[in-house]
């Protein structure tokens, strides 16, 4: 009779308590790993914005070598793709692809002359507004 009881027990499924314990463990793992994964994504966006600003800065330097000046604020970064007005020595386009948006889908801000150098390029970060901290902080060309 004991043998018959043991055989029934080995064929039975999981108990409700065992299922609850497994669900709690999965929940705890998700709570620990989820925020770290999201943070890595934001760090990657910040690195991508810095790399794009560096690319734009290089293209602006090439524009200056050809034309003798940086594009004005009014001409903007579009001057790297299309010839602004009747500039004689423009030898662009200086970017192989269309002008990129920042990793949050917004246009980069360009000023020339800049407050921190010959030009300023910046992204306002995740919130799209000046200032901010962590993911919302500004990423600027003068903070290389």
What pTM was estimated for this model as a whole? 0.71
Q: Which two tokens stand for residue 91?
A: 């030898």
109-135 per-position pLDDT tens digit: 999 998 988 999 999 988 888 888 877
6-53 per-position pLDDT tens digit: 555 555 677 888 888 888 888 888 887 777 766 677 888 999 999 999
The residue among 109, 71, 111 whose CA lies nearest residue 90 is 71
Domains of the chain: residue spans and CATH:
2-140 (3.30.700.10)
Instruction: Say if residues 96 and 87 touch (Cβ distance below 8 Å).
Output: no
The residue among 88, 82, 124 whose CA lies nearest residue 103 is 124
In the three-class reduction of DSSP (H, G, I as helix; E, B as strand; rest coil), residue 109 is classed as strand
88-114 per-position pLDDT tens digit: 899 989 999 999 999 999 999 999 998
């Amino acid at each position: 009779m004991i043998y018959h009881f043991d055989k029934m027990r080995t064929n039975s499924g999981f108990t409700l308590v065992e299922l609850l314990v497994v669900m709690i463990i999965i929940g705890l793992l998700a709570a620990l790993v989820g925020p770290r994964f999201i943070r890595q994504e934001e760090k990657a966006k910040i690195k991508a914005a810095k790399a794009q600003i560096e690319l734009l800065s290089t293209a602006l330097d090439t524009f200056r070598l050809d034309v003798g000046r940086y594009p004005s604020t009014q001409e903007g970064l579009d001057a790297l793709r299309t010839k602004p007005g009747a500039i004689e020595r423009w030898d662009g386009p200086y970017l192989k692809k269309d002008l990129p948006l920042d990793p949050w889908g917004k246009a980069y801000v360009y000023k020339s002359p800049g407050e921190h150098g010959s030009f300023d390029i910046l992204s306002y970060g995740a919130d799209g507004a000046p200032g901010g901290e962590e993911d919302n902080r500004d990423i600027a060309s003068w903070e290389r």
